[in-house]
């Protein structure tokens, strides 16, 4: 029989007279009608792309024969519908007629035996319901005279919602149905669920429309074991579930919802489980999972249709889920999913047991379905547990999806506590070497900012306050990567050797000449990201300026040295020039020579002051590789600013330092012998 011949108008269906209810369940079912509508107002919004599925008849399934309070109550759907009516949202959408699922549709997912069992519920008498109540409670179910009808309507309603979108009649639909479905497995009903609504709907869409690739996103707090089981070996349906797992101890329990459960056979990789290890997960955690796992995989899969198994039991206030997702969080997840499949989106209600929580969450989702933008979110960071889970899922799913990058998901705090950067290791080694070999000591810094960024990076010889000549060296580690000959090569030995060799030669030369040494590494330590968020971020060069001027004012100016030799290396040369600008008077008084080994950094001169520039030109030695842009097209202008520009046919800054060092020493020697009269004659 053709499926369309089975469509019925729910209001005209003759329902079997129910057995009289026990006293506790005499509450009548409320039939909510929309507010009166003027004749001039159309029944359906002319530009609507949304359709609703709803019938109060599904409320007749209720726990009248159970002894305990049950969370899956009829009011779950009426509370949502009443609020949508109150907010006049139902008038902006089409009402999709509901119908019961037929056997030919149900058996696309379920066994004939399960169909027969559910059909038999309506034939039982009251004593049968009472006698079997304990058995069904073990399956987390309850049954009554109306269970069969309600379950069939719930499943058929989702089918009609999906077909309306798949056939192009609507862009989006929302099936407000119960009982839920995602726990129902092909052979068994369980967990408040009888038919697997979204699974059957997906199969019907594949059978009756050209849409074959379907994404089912399940954000119910429980793993949709039935949905995954239905498509576990099918690559045409991508199933993604974000759920509370707790090592398999949270319902439905067992390892099927673990991150390693990825499908079987041809369906391997088409089941994606994001299993939270604990309750309390909120917006930041879910959106982190969406950005790192859900959306990359979904976009790579490129579905023809998206179905959301929209359980709202992860919502704030739900006593079963005990999570913390807000209506705004659900709105943002819906908004992202609506960008897929040319906007074809079906939302099917699953769980959610706090009436206020599911109502507010459903309204937030409906606003997105009606075309509104999601509300702005405050700044948020995923929890450590969520970040760890997403990283582990990324490691597993990267085996099947090119768009998933475990490296981008790696928890930062975890890495920070276990690792050291190469520059930090080199700094510590260099500090130890200078202390043991040259008897150099660490200079303490005043102020938390300087201490946090540059502690253990300023060293001096013990005779710094006694010698008449001081060599003030400024350098960085941070330029090492940029100065490699190729981005494809990372030769740590080259990085390590040139800096240490230069330090040994320079300090050995300075001590041999009887000079004191002040050595500063201007490569700052990384700042904790939380500190950046708490205060205005200060540029790195401002910290470097503070450090260099602090050392000049508190050590260089207070020592006995009458002759200062400034030596800059790589990017640190910029701060050397800035020191000359900021302390021009005292610098011109005592600095005898300025040596810069520029590498490929920008060549700078002091500020536009004739006296300062003339002073600088006479005392400046600059070593530059032959391939530096300063040599093209004409270096004459720069040579007038910088005095002695020395060209070297080397590419690496380390080799440039080694080759230029003999000439730099000769230049310093000449400058030390020069008198004031010699400078005037130049």
Q: What is the pLDDT of residue 46?
A: 46
pTM beyond 0.75: the answer is: no
Q: What is the DSSP letter of 265?
A: G
Which of 354, 268, 366 has its CA nearest to residue 318?
A: 354
The full DSSP string for 392-403 is HHHHHHTTT-TT
- The domains of the chain are located at 49-374+381-412, 421-681
Q: Which residues pair with 271 in a beta bridge?
A: 239
Percent of the chain scoring above 70 in pLDDT:
84
Tokens of 141: 């179910």
List all residues 6 or more positions away from 582 whose beta carbon is below 8 Å from its beta carbon. 545, 549
The span from the CA of 327 to the CA of 312, in Å, is 9
Tell me the pLDDT band of 6, cut-offs 50, 70 and 90. Answer: very low
Q: Which helix (H) or strand (E) holds 506?
A: helix 492-512
Q: What is the pLDDT of residue 425?
A: 73
- 315-358 per-position pLDDT tens digit: 999 999 999 999 999 999 999 999 999 999 999 999 999 999 99
Show which residues are catalytic.
183
Most confident listed range (6-20, 577-591, 642-656, 663-677):
577-591
Q: What is the pLDDT of residue 487?
A: 38
Tell me the residue ranges of DSSP E strands in 179-258: 214-218, 237-244
Query: Which whole number is the average pLDDT over 642-655?
Result: 82
Task: Give the torsion through C-alpha atoms of 499, 500, 503, 505, to 10 deg.
Answer: -110
Strands 50-53 and 469-475, how do they pair?
unpaired
List all residues 6 or more positions away from 510 whose beta carbon is below 8 Å from its beta carbon. 471, 516, 517
For domain 49-374+381-412, say whether CATH 3.40.800.20 is its number: yes
The span from the CA of 567 to the CA of 588, in Å, is 15
- 513-526 per-position pLDDT tens digit: 999 999 998 887 76
The span from the CA of 541 to the CA of 575, in Å, is 8
Q: What is the CATH number of domain 421-681?
A: 3.40.50
Tell me the residue ranges of DSSP E strands in 607-682: 620-625, 644-648
Q: What is the pLDDT of residue 206?
A: 98
Tell me the pLDDT band of 497, cut-offs 50, 70 and 90. Answer: very low
Q: What are phi and psi of 243, to 5 degrees?
A: -150, 160
- Would you call 666 helix, strand, or coil by DSSP? helix
Distance of CA 252 to the CA centre of its chain: 28
With 0-12 CB in 10 A as exposed, 13-18 as middle and 19+ as buried, what is 365? Answer: buried
Distance, first Cα to last Cα, the chain: 108
Q: What are phi and psi of 18, to 5 degrees?
A: -75, 155
pLDDT at 414 over 80: no
552: left (phi over 0), alpha (psi -120 to 50) or beta: alpha
Tokens of 432: 């130890």
């Amino acid at each position: 029989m053709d499926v369309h011949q089975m469509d019925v108008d729910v209001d005209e269906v003759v329902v079997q007279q129910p057995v009289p209810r026990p006293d506790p369940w005499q509450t009548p079912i409320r039939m909510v009608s929309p507010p009166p509508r003027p004749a001039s107002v159309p029944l359906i919004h002319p530009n609507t792309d949304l359709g609703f599925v709803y019938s109060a008849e599904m409320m007749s399934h209720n726990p009248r024969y159970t002894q305990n309070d049950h969370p899956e109550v009829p009011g779950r759907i009426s509370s949502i519908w009443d609020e949508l009516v109150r907010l006049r949202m139902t008038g902006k959408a089409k009402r999709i007629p509901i119908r019961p699922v037929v056997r030919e549709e149900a058996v696309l997912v379920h066994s004939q035996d399960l169909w027969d069992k559910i059909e038999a519920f309506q034939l039982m008498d009251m004593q049968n319901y009472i006698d079997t109540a304990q058995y069904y409670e073990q399956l987390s179910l309850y049954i009554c005279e109306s269970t069969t009808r309600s379950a069939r309507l719930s499943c058929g309603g989702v089918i009609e919602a999906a077909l309306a979108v798949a056939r192009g009649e609507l862009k989006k639909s929302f099936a407000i149905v119960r009982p839920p479905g995602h726990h129902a497995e092909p052979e068994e009903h369980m967990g408040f669920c009888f038919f697997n609504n979204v699974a059957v709907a997906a199969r019907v869409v594949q059978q009756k429309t050209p849409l074959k690739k379907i994404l089912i996103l399940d954000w119910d707090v429980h793993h949709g074991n039935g949905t995954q089981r239905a498509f576990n070996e099918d690559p045409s349906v991508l199933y993604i579930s974000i759920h509370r797992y707790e090592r398999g101890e949270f319902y439905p329990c067992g390892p099927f919802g673990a991150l390693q459960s990825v499908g079987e056979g041809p369906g391997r990789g088409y089941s994606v489980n994001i299993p939270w290890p604990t309750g309390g997960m909120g917006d930041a955690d879910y959106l982190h999972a969406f950005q790192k796992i859900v959306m990359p995989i979904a976009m790579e899969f490129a579905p023809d249709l998206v179905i959301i198994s929209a359980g709202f039991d992860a919502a704030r206030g739900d006593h079963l889920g005990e999570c913390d997702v807000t209506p705004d969080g659900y709105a943002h997840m819906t908004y992202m999913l609506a960008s897929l499949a040319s906007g074809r989106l079906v939302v099917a209600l699953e769980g959610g047991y706090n009436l206020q929580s599911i109502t507010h969450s459903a309204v937030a989702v409906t606003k997105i379905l009606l075309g509104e933008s999601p509300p702005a979110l405050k700044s948020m960071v995923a929890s450590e547990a969520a970040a760890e889970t997403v990283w582990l899922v990324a490691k597993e799913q990267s085996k099947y999806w090119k768009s998933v990058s475990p490296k981008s998901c790696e928890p930062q705090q975890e890495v920070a506590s276990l690792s050291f950067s190469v520059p930090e290791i080199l700094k510590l080694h260099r500090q130890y070497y200078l202390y043991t070999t040259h008897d150099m000591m660490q200079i303490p810094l005043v102020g938390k900012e300087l201490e946090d960024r540059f502690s253990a990076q300023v060293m001096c010889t013990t005779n710094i306050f006694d010698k008449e000549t001081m060599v003030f060296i400024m350098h960085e580690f941070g330029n090492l990567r940029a100065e490699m000959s190729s981005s494809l090569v990372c030769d740590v030995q080259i990085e390590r050797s040139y800096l240490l060799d230069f330090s040994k030669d320079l300090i050995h030369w300075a001590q041999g000449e009887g000079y004191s040494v002040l050595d500063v590494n201007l490569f700052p330590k990384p700042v904790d990201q939380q500190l950046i968020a708490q205060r205005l971020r200060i540029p790195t060069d401002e910290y470097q300026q503070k450090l260099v001027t602090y050392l000049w004012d508190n050590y260089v100016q207070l020592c006995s040295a009458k002759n200062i030799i400034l030596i800059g290396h790589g990017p640190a040369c910029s701060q050397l020039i800035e020191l000359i600008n900021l302390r021009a008077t005292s610098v011109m008084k005592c600095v005898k020579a300025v040596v810069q080994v520029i590498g490929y950094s920008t060549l700078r001169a002091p500020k536009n002051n004739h006296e300062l520039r003339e002073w600088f030109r006479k005392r400046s030695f600059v070593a530059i590789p032959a391939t530096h842009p300063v040599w093209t097209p004409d270096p004459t202008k720069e040579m007038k600013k910088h005095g002695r520009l020395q060209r070297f046919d080397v590419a690496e800054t380390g080799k440039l330092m080694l080759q230029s060092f003999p000439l730099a020493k000769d230049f310093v020697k000449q400058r030390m012998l020069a008198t004031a009269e010699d400078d005037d004659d130049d």
